[in-house]
Amino acid sequence: MTSGNSDYLADSVLEDDICNICGSNDYWVVKLANYSHISSVEDFYKNYSSSSDSKLSDQLVKCKNCRLVYVNPRVKNVVSLTGYQEAVDPRHHEEDHYRMLSFKRAIKKIEKYILEGNKPKSKIRILDVGCAGGAFPKTAIDLGYRAIGIEPSKYLAAHGRRTYNLDVRAETLEEFSLEPELFSVISFWDVLEHVPNPKKTLQLAHAMLEDPGVIILNLPMIDTFPAKMLGKYWPFYLNVHFFYFEIETISKLLDSLGYEIVQKKRYWQTLSFGYVLTRVGINLPFELNSKLSFPIKYYLGQRTIIAKQKTNV
């Protein structure tokens, strides 16, 4: 990549950021950027889809004050959002039947927090943010809850409506939050690390929750054993991820916004073996990969965190 291209990318695609928790701009560089494979702005747009496995090429930094790890500088919001909105991503929803197995297990483990107050399932309204093709809302409805989803990808939102007859809006949380609806539960399954401003996202969610309300976060976390063991080869170091949380940093963020963590668990995901190999960067010939469609249950460093609004806030 020429120097001219580098200047163009820095001026038109990237922007500096500050720590999303404490607002500091004082940091250590954890990893330098490498854009040698990027030749145009279109290459950045291509990175953003639900099943993107494009390896992290941005600079990664750690805040000296609160130790949050994040991408800085990062692509402008208009680039990432446009990429998500326009992405056609059939690989993602082809795995939905396996995702539903994972979601059903997860809901059973956290149901006591959802059902506090003896409210019947049919009265509990769930909003799933970044629902992709609708696997989580569909699972929640099948278990007796009321659920809708929002998803920036027009393709995946249309799939959820067409295939599962779901209420899935092709919107961001900022757009949807203008509607006067309150929810018992708002869930973010592998979403918060993708958004440009997690603090703002969680503030919006807080205002949309009934009192008391429950937040579900599922996150790849860098203080887990798989992340530490695999180092730079950890498969969640991806261009689509702007933030890399630890329990300490996500706890600080939630606490500052009026949430308290009531449960944290490892998240065991079920997907087809061939799809998992692709996500970790092992690209086999199509004929061979298609023969590896059997499910596997695995843990690679994701945690499910249940947080509730503090009663004194």
CATH number (domain holding residue 203) = 3.40.50.150
113 and 51 inside one domain: no
Residue 123 pLDDT > 50: yes
Of 85, 109, 137, which residue is a domain's last? 85
Average pLDDT over residues 40-66: 82
Domain total for the chain?
2
Q: What is the pLDDT of the chain when averaged over all its residues?
A: 90
96 and 200 inside one domain: yes
Per-residue pLDDT, 51? 61
Average pLDDT over residues 2-17: 66
288 and 154 inside one domain: yes
49 and 93 inside one domain: no
Residue 1 pLDDT > 50: no
Q: What is the pTM of this model?
A: 0.92
45 and 106 inside one domain: no
Q: Where do we find the tokens 């809302």?
A: 137
**Residue bearing the bigger pLDDT, 259 or 39:** 259
Q: How many angstroms from the chain centroid is the CA of residue 135?
A: 14
Average pLDDT over residues 125-131: 97
132 and 172 inside one domain: yes
Nearest to 143 by CA among 126, 160, 121: 121
79 and 103 inside one domain: no
Separation CA 104–CA 148 (nearest Å): 16
152 and 56 inside one domain: no
Boundaries of domain holding 66: 3-85
Separation CA 147–CA 137 (nearest Å): 5
Average pLDDT over residues 274-278: 84
157, 151 in Cβ contact below 8 A?
yes
What is the percent of the chain with per-residue pLDDT over 70, rounded to a whole number?
95
Report the range of poorest mean pLDDT among 73-77, 144-148, 255-259, 288-292. Answer: 288-292
Per-residue pLDDT, 176? 92
Per-residue pLDDT, 9? 60
Report the range of poorest mean pLDDT among 6-15, 111-120, 148-157. Answer: 6-15
The 3-state DSSP class for residue 168 equals: strand
72 and 126 inside one domain: no
Instruction: Find all residues with CB under 8 Å of 288, minimum gap 6, and list them.
Output: none
Nearest to 269 by CA among 211, 214, 189, 182: 189
Report the range of poorest mean pLDDT among 54-68, 115-129, 211-225, 256-270. Answer: 115-129
- Classify each residue of 145-177 as buried b or exposed e, where b means 16 or more C-beta atoms within 10 Å of its C-beta: bbbbbbbbbebbbebbbeebebebbbbbbeebb
Amino acid identity, position 282: I
**Residue bearing the bigger pLDDT, 309 or 205:** 205
> How confident is residue 65, by pLDDT bands cut at 50, 70 and 90?
very high
Residue 2 pLDDT > 50: no
Helix axes 96-114, 135-142, angle to 10 degrees: 60
The per-residue pLDDT for range 277-291, each reduced to its tens digit, is 887 777 777 677 777
Residue 152 pLDDT > 70: yes
Exposed (0-12), middle (13-18) or buried (19+): which is 132, by Cβ within 10 Å? buried
Average pLDDT over residues 267-286: 84
Average pLDDT over residues 129-139: 97
> How confident is residue 4, by pLDDT bands cut at 50, 70 and 90?
very low
44 and 106 inside one domain: no
Of 58, 85, 112, which residue is a domain's last? 85
Q: Which residues pair with 62 in a beta bridge?
A: 28, 69
Half-sphere exposure of 130 (CA within 13 A, CB side): 21
Report the range of poorest mean pLDDT among 40-49, 75-84, 194-203. Answer: 40-49
Report the range of poorest mean pLDDT among 41-45, 68-72, 139-143, 301-305. Answer: 41-45
205 and 187 inside one domain: yes
Q: How many angstroms from the chain centroid is the CA of residue 206?
A: 18
Of 55, 85, 115, which residue is a domain's last? 85
> How confident is residue 50, by pLDDT bands cut at 50, 70 and 90?
low
173 and 77 inside one domain: no
What are the φ and ψ backbone dihedral angles of 175, each rounded to 5 degrees?
Answer: -70, -45
Amino acid identity, position 312: N
What is the number of other CB atoms lying within 10 angstroms of the CB of residue 215? 22
Per-residue pLDDT, 10? 57
Angle at 14 between CA 84 and CA 244, to 5 degrees: 65
Longest dimension (CA), the chain: 63
